[in-house]
Amino acid sequence: MTSIVLRSTSGSDGKLHLEVPVGAANTEFEVEVLVRPKAGVVKLPPDYFKLIGSIDDESFVRPPQG
């Protein structure tokens, strides 16, 4: 068994297309695929920053900071 690590980017259709070099023609293989996002990459939902705003309640005050 050989472990092959590939890095690829999904297309606009949300699909990831892979070509895996195996080095042997006309040979049957069993393939196991583990899909995980690249480390350190966080996808925020659309309009995420529109959720950040101000408080409109005038009775809400920030106490003095020591």
Residues 5-25: pLDDT tens digits?
888 888 899 998 888 888 899
pTM: 0.40
Residue 6 to residue 63: CA distance in whole angstroms: 53
Place of tokens 């005050």: 61
Handedness of CA 32, 34, 35, 37 (dihedral sign): negative
Backbone angles phi, psi at 38, to 5 degrees: -60, 135
**Contact yes or no for 20/6 (Cβ under 8 A):** yes
Asked whether the predicted pLDDT for residue 28 surpasses 90, the reply is yes
pLDDT in the model for residue 36: 79
Of 19, 31, 30, 24, the C-alpha closest to 7 is 19
Does residue 41 register a pLDDT over 80?
Answer: no
